[in-house]
Amino acid sequence: MSPPNRIRRHRPGVLSAVIVLLLVLTGCGGGESGLSGDTGQASEVTGEFDWKRFDGESLRLVFNQHPWQEAIEPLLPEFEELTGMTVEVESLPEEQFRQRVQVEMTGRSDSLDVFMANVQNEGAKFAANGWYTDLRPLAENPAVTATEYAFDDFSEGVIDGHTFAETLVGIPIQLETQMLFYRTDILQEAGVEVPRTFEELEQVAEAIDDPDGTRAFVSRGAGAAAVTQIATYLFNYGANWTEEGSDTAAFDSPEGVEAIDFYSRMISSYGPQGVVNMSWEEALPLFQQGQVAMYTDASTFMPNILEESTEQVSGNVGFAKMPAGPAGEFQTFNGWALGISPFSPKQNESWYFVQWATSPDVVARLTEEGIAGARESVEFGDAYPEDWVTAFTESLSEARPQLPKVGPVPEVRDAIGTSIVSAIQGEPVEPAVQESAEQFNSIVESAGGG
Amino acid sequence: MAIAYDPSSAQWSKRARTAGYYLVVALVMLPFLFVFYYMISTSLKQPLAITAPDFQWLFTPTLDNYREVFVANDFLTFTVNSMIVAVGSTAIGLFIGLPAAFVIARYRVPKLALVILSARVTPGITFLIPWFIIFSQLRLIDTYSALIFTHLLQNLPLMIFLMISFFEEIPDELIESAKVDGATTQRTFWSIVLPLAKGGIAASAILGFVFSWNHFMFSIVLSGNDTRTLPVAVFNFMSFGSINWGAITAAATIMSLPVILLTLTVQRHIVKGLAIGAVKG
Amino acid sequence: MTATEQQPRPGPLATNGGPPGGPQPARTRRRQVSELVDRHIVGVFMTPAVIFVVVMMIVPVAFTIWLSLHSWSGGANSTPTFIGLDNFAQVLTGDPRFWDALRRTFYFTILAVVVETFLGVAIAVLLNREFLGKGLLRTIFLFPMIATPVAIALVWRLMYEPSLGILNDILAAVGLPTSTWVADQSLVIPALALVDVWEWTPLITLITLAGLSALPADPFEAAAIDGAGRWQTLRHITLPMMRPVIVVAVAFRLIDALKTFDIIYVITQGGPGFASETLNLYVYTQSFQYQNLGYSASLLIVFFAIVVGSAVLLLRFRRAGE
């Protein structure tokens, strides 16, 4: 009885056939760019605009857990009633959200229709990979766009910021600047004024810090998440992400090192423990619960602070622009948009959702909820704290993008983040920052090929 | 007063030593049990009790977290998904693994066993990425088959190895005598060997089920909206603003309970399998 | 006993049929087929499993090798570009993050497995006697290994929380300074290793216990007669005899520990910074966060080589020890 040998001899043949077949299949798949066939749908639709055109269809939306998402979810039944479509929403915490979308894009999932996009972060990469549907043809097609949509209401600058190589990758749903949130009662008690410069910020922090009670200051410390926050500090110290006109790292300049040193000093000396693991999900509740007195983060958290904090906090919170640094006062902005997956077989249906969510009516209502949209015509109502409106509008008018304009942003965020983490943990700042800069350069270089 | 040999004091010190021994044993068990206690108690606490600065030993229990897990989220669907994948991969694993284990045990074909062993040794991620790319080209992402087959690849070696130990326990004479009576090896396998190794098969099946149920890495990437399994779903509770620890621990309890209960039913055989495996090396 | 009963009784599977070619042709054909199957029983029984494993293994490995020679970002309009061995050159010479991840992987693995082994064997020795509730204990000991790792990791994550978790409460209660545990770059790997130790020490214990109970009684009796104390018996008789069993358990555990993913991903995601990023996580990040698919393929091959290499080394070590 020695059948094994016979079997073994036959197997290689079958196996190699299978292998070759699979390799061929995947090799073909990789080169396929005929997916543009899907977006061809966009221009196929003609006729009168009708909200109920796609009655009975369903959409799958993947959202990042975010104030905007929280505000729009209660309104979704209205969309369903208006169009007759059903929507299925999946909202995930930021990191899982990002990975989810990337995995589905790499897997060319046809079950993803609309997703939130943080264009400053992944826009360049997604666009290079062809992972956005061009929304311009959709917006310009009167058969699928209501006349009231008023596409021109979005400022040219903002639309430009969302355009990569002629493709309009998303419609902005929300803009945010970086802001300083502070407890008016605590500052008053200590007899100090709202800090207008970084120097003052540190002085105030020292005056109000209570190691056994309310700490003075918190901001994100979790590596990549902190990179957006640190931008304003960098700029106000006179540093830049990259050299003018090139992709070479410039944040390891003496000014940049100073900025990072200051930032990490502030959060490690005047803040709670464990800050290296904190993104906004962890830092925001601390402010809301009254455990820290000052917090710098995105302006978009204002409604959360006002509505979800303890009474003492929500009754005594002030909003201010980011303090100025030795090199001046620069403000930064970021924002989210809605994008449509090119692999979705429901291009027009998805556009209906994007359109509805960014329509003047919905944006106005979201603005009432405290979400600052991107439409120029919408004004802030009386419910908005005056100091917030002032801080926001003034910042926005002169704001610079928070993130560096390179291709592999997520990867460089990780690289820059390590220096922040090292600095917080007390390691020498300059060598850490220089190493980050080196990594930054090598990442950008090797990604250059696409 | 001279103290004569006092049997009662000798007994007492022996009892003391025994009590001391039990105490040590209890101390050793404590850390292992504590984590489970922590998980279950947190899942029964209200949010304020969880976020209180001091650990609350006494608290008013609530089923709110469990309600939230099942009602507010699709947890039942995820449980069903986990079930389908686990049962699927275990069933197929038994179907193709038991015969293989049998011949390895009886006919000593170690080389082929080595092939199967290498599947066990290889890091899962080595398979995950190519399979992810291949499955996505073939549009098999978010399907049960993709999950079942990849889970199977990780489970099969384990199940086969466990079964080999049990099959080797079956005395040769039993099989030889059946052959003498003219039965084919096949029939022997089905009618004699399998019933005799029932316990081992059950253990192996349950372990296969457990490892598939627990599997995380493949599921994050290969499952999608329709097929999401429990370990992946639990991340939905890391919500905005603060992590919902009550819901997470409730979900964790729900996830772990079935496999623990299942294991209880065959624990004797599992331990035996480990024993045989270890002794035989 | 009558004459008829002198015949050997038919065994359990004896068939009733007469000689082949008898009055039942269908059954004969079936019988011939089953005899054919029987002759090739090894092949028939082995083949499905082997084919499955080989295909499910060979295909990914072949694909990975192919991919590692290319650069690809998985995009819809990008194709893999052939770049030869550049990826490997990058891994080995231009990627400090890789070497750091490698270092951390070994640090975590060795730390966890060493502690598990010592604890596991010690506990097994301790429990190696008959006592009330031993069976129950053995059952309870299965739980940490069986419970879903993701669930366990989440609970530990809560336990490690500086303000909410119980571990800091315990430290404070005994007057020790609190720690940030997994938020501390220098503590994070030991903290994660602790979770692994909690999870897998029972495995070592159970296997050792099983081995201990299979030991022959004679050497121990002889030792007792010679007046050997407990420690001496342990050191010179028990442990040496247990060596093969323990080594096997450790070997398996070591290989598995190298591949740890769930705990790290759930508790720290490789952070803070990269302080807990092991090779497994690094490859995952490169593939699913950065989409550097060609590069991650080459990392995979290196990782694979390391794990398999360790396995082979361990096998050799075990052979040498016998």
Among partner residues A70, A96, A110, which is closest to B235 by beta-carbon distance? Answer: A96
Write out the H or E segment, with its range, that includes residue A293.
Answer: strand A292-298
Residue C15: list chain B partners with CB under 8 A: 182-183
Q: Which of the two residues, A364 and B227, has the higher pLDDT score?
A: A364
- Across the range B135-152, mean pLDDT stands at 84
Q: How many CB pairs under 8 A join B and C?
A: 276
**Angle formed by the axes of helices B124-137 and C293-321, nearest 10°:** 150
Of the residues C161, C185, C284, the best mutation for testing chain A's interface (the one with the most A CB atoms within 10 Å of its CB) is: C185
Among partner residues B135, B236, B241, which is closest to A308 by beta-carbon distance? Answer: B241
Among partner residues A4, A33, A343, which is closest to C77 by beta-carbon distance? Answer: A33
Write out the H or E segment, with its range, that includes residue A216.
Answer: strand A215-218
Pairing of strands A171-183, A317-321: antiparallel
Check residue A73 and give its pLDDT: 92
In a domain, B198, yes or no: yes
Helical H segments across A215-253, by residue range = 227-237
CA distances from B65 to B73, B217, B237, C158 (A): 11, 26, 11, 16
Lowest mean pLDDT among A17-26, A336-345, A395-404, B50-59: A17-26
Do B28 and B118 share a domain, yes or no?
Answer: no
Distance from CA of B1 to the nearest CA of C (A): 34
How far apart CA B231 and CA B1 sit, in angstroms, is 71
Tally of domains in chain B:
2
Do B91 and B56 share a domain, yes or no?
Answer: no
Residue B54: list chain C partners with CB under 8 A: 169
End-to-end CA distance of chain B: 61
- B236 confidence band (pLDDT: 50, 70, 90): low
Listed by number, the residues of chain B in 59-88 with a beta carbon closer than 8 Å to a beta carbon of chain C are: none
Among partner residues B116, B125, B249, which is closest to C284 by beta-carbon distance? Answer: B125
Check residue A349 and give its pLDDT: 93
> In this predicted model, what pLDDT tens digit does every residue of C47-104 receive, in sequence order?
788 788 888 888 888 888 888 898 887 766 677 888 888 888 888 887 888 999 999 9
Do B176 and B240 share a domain, yes or no?
Answer: yes
Distance from CA of C35 to the nearest CA of A (A): 12
- Write out the two tokens for C208: 């050792």
Do B43 and B115 share a domain, yes or no?
Answer: no
- Across the range B112-117, mean pLDDT stands at 73
Do B184 and B230 share a domain, yes or no?
Answer: yes
In a domain, B2, yes or no: no
Sign of the torsion angle spanned by Cα atoms C291, C292, C297, C303: negative
- Across the range A196-205, mean pLDDT stands at 93
Report which of C144, A220, A301 is spatially closest to residue B259, judged by C-alpha positions.
Answer: C144
Which residue type sits at C115? V
Report which of C52, A22, C150 is spatially closest to residue B151, judged by C-alpha positions.
Answer: C52
In a domain, B52, yes or no: yes
How far apart CA B271 and CA C10 sit, in angstroms, is 37
ipTM computed for the complex: 0.84
Q: What is the 3-state secondary structure (H, E, C) of chain C?
A: CCHHHHCCCCCCCCCCCCCCCCCCHHHHHHHHHHHHHHHCHHHHHHHHHHHHHHHHHHHHHHHHHHHHCEECCCCCCCCCEECCCHHHHHHHHCCHHHHHHHHHHHHHHHHHHHHHHHHHHHHHHHHCCCCCCHHHHHHHHHHHHHCCHHHHHHHHHHHHCCCCCHHHHHHHHCCCCCCCHHHCCCCHHHHHHHHHHHHHHHHHHHHHHHHHHCCCCHHHHHHHHCCCCHHHHHHHHHHHHHHHHHHHHHHHHHHHHHCCCHHHHHHCCCCCCCCCCCHHHHHHHHHHCCCCHHHHHHHHHHHHHHHHHHHHHHHHHHHHHC
Report which of A369, A373, A371 is spatially closest to residue A358, judged by C-alpha positions.
Answer: A373
Do B195 and B232 share a domain, yes or no?
Answer: yes
Check residue A15 and give its pLDDT: 41
> In this predicted model, what pLDDT tens digit does every residue of B201-219 receive, in sequence order?
888 888 889 889 998 888 8
Do B130 and B222 share a domain, yes or no?
Answer: yes
Phi, psi of A298 (to 5 degrees): -70, 140
How far apart CA B53 and CA A272 sit, in angstroms, is 14
Q: Which of B6, B35, B62 is the last residue of a domain?
A: B62
Q: Which of the two residues, B153 and A318, has the higher pLDDT score?
A: A318
Query: Quick check: helix, strand or coil at residue B2?
Result: coil
- Write out the two tokens for C151: 């669930």
Do B203 and B142 share a domain, yes or no?
Answer: yes
Do B50 and B125 share a domain, yes or no?
Answer: no
Listed by number, the residues of chain B in 132-191 with a beta carbon closer than 8 Å to a beta carbon of chain C are: 132-134, 149-150, 152-153, 156-157, 160, 177-178, 180-189, 191
Structural domain including B44 reads 14-62
- A205 confidence band (pLDDT: 50, 70, 90): very high
In a domain, B67, yes or no: no
**Is A12 within 8 Å of chain B by CB?**
no
Sign of the torsion angle spanned by Cα atoms C74, C75, C77, C82: negative
Query: Quick check: helix, strand or coil at residue B77?
Result: helix
Do B87 and B191 share a domain, yes or no?
Answer: yes
**Is A446 within 8 Å of chain C by CB?**
yes
- Across the range B93-104, mean pLDDT stands at 85
In a domain, B69, yes or no: no
| CATH at residue B154 | 1.10.3720.10
Report which of C111, C110, C137 is spatially closest to residue C124, judged by C-alpha positions.
Answer: C137
How far apart CA B267 and CA B272 sit, in angstroms, is 8
Q: Which residue has the tokens 């943080």?
A: A118
Among partner residues A99, A103, A284, which is closest to B241 by beta-carbon distance? Answer: A284
- Mean pLDDT (chain B, rounded): 80
Q: Which residues lie closer than 8 Å to A128 by C-beta, 6 or more apart?
A: A164, A407, A450, C73, C75, C78
Of the residues A39, A122, A273, A291, the best mutation for testing chain C's interface (the one with the most C CB atoms within 10 Å of its CB) is: A273
CB A149 within 8 Å of CB A355? yes
- Neighbouring chains of B at 3+ CB pairs under 8 Å are A, C
Phi, psi of A197 (to 5 degrees): -130, 165
In a domain, B9, yes or no: no
Is pLDDT of A17 > 50?
Answer: no
Do B58 and B169 share a domain, yes or no?
Answer: no
Check residue B242 and give its pLDDT: 58
Quick one: DSSP state of residue A34? Answer: T
In a domain, B166, yes or no: yes
Phi, psi of C188 (to 5 degrees): -65, -40
Low-confidence ranges of chain C (pLDDT < 70): 1-27, 34-39, 41-42, 75-77, 318-322
- Across the range B251-279, mean pLDDT stands at 77
**Is A442 within 8 Å of chain B by CB?**
no
In a domain, B6, yes or no: no
Which residue type sits at B28? V
Do B38 and B120 share a domain, yes or no?
Answer: no
Percentage of chain A modeled with pLDDT above 90: 43
CB contact under 8 A, C183 and A277: yes
Write out the H or E segment, with its range, that includes residue A28.
Answer: helix A3-31
Report which of C238, C252, C271, C272 is spatially closest to residue C318, judged by C-alpha positions.
Answer: C252
Q: Which residue of C has its CA nearest to B35?
A: C155
